[in-house]
Amino acid sequence: MQRTRAPWWVWLVHAAAWAPLAALAWAAATGGLGYDPVGEATRRAGRCALIMLGVALLPGPLARLGGVRQALRVRRALGLYAFGYAALHFLVYAGWGYRFRLGDLWVAVRQSPLVWVGLGALLIELALAVTSTRRWQARLGPWWRWLHRLVFVAAALAVVHYAWASKDLRPEPVLAGAVLIALLALRLGGLRRRPSGRGPSPSTASG
């Protein structure tokens, strides 16, 4: 069976998703992360994770409400990129910052409840990434759709984590929360319009 070649815009989406990682690696290699490289790298990876998570929520509303069905081609990839940046955010914090010293890391986590919020979002995204394949969709059946609706819980936790880490009311967390609410409203509107008994096909697996 011959596989169709992906259109140019799909490659552009992938390139755009990899670009922040390349920029972060370049900054780390050239000393462009400033006086606090660990903190700056952690913040950059966290912002990328939150942005990618928001972007991953767009294909569904675009397909249902805007008729842009082609957007579904990159939905799973965007969700995996979001998880990848979230995992990088944690690995920079735990690995670069604490050298994976579990004792010191546990003390830091215990004293900082915002880390628990971030870990909650990361664990949900991990579950969604692992079960994002067609095989898992077939295994879980109708439960798969309910599981993947937890993406909104992960997004809400990520926004709270970001706002909490900012320590003051900056425009970015407020904007992230507003975007999440808008996407949630679009998603719920699409669910109400969907006829009962019909769900996404395996080729349009959602987050």
* Digitized pLDDT (tens) for each residue of the chain, 207 residues in all: 456 677 889 999 999 999 999 999 999 999 999 999 999 999 999 999 999 998 998 888 888 877 888 888 999 999 999 999 999 999 999 998 888 888 888 888 788 888 899 999 999 999 999 999 999 999 999 999 899 989 989 988 998 888 888 766 566 667 777 877 787 777 666 555 554 444 444 433 344
Domain count, the chain: 1
User: 88-114 as b/e, with b when 16 or more CB fall inside 10 Å?
Assistant: bbbebbbeebbeeeeeebeeebeeeeb
Closest CA to 74 of 22, 16, 19, 122: 16
Q: Is 55 contained in some domain?
A: yes
Structure tokens at 147: 């599981």
State the DSSP H helix or E strand holding residue 113, giving kind and residue range, or none if neither. Answer: helix 113-130
Does residue 11 sit within a domain? no
- Whether residue 82 lies inside any domain: the answer is yes
DSSP code of 4?
Answer: P
Residue 84 lies in a domain: yes
Distance (Å, whole) CA 123 – CA 82: 12
Structural domain includes residue 180: yes
Q: Would 2 be classed as within a structural domain?
A: no
What pLDDT score was predicted for residue 206? 42
Non-local (6+) Cβ contacts of 181 within 8 A are none
Q: What is the pLDDT of residue 201?
A: 42
Domain extent, residue 93, equals: 19-192
Burial of 199 (0-12, 13-18, 19+ CB in 10 A): middle
- Considering the domain boundaries, does residue 111 fall inside one? yes
Beta-carbon contacts of residue 125 (< 8 Å; ≥ 6 apart): 53, 79, 82, 83, 86, 151, 154
122 lies in some domain: yes
- pTM for the model stands at 0.83
Please give the pLDDT value at position 204.
36
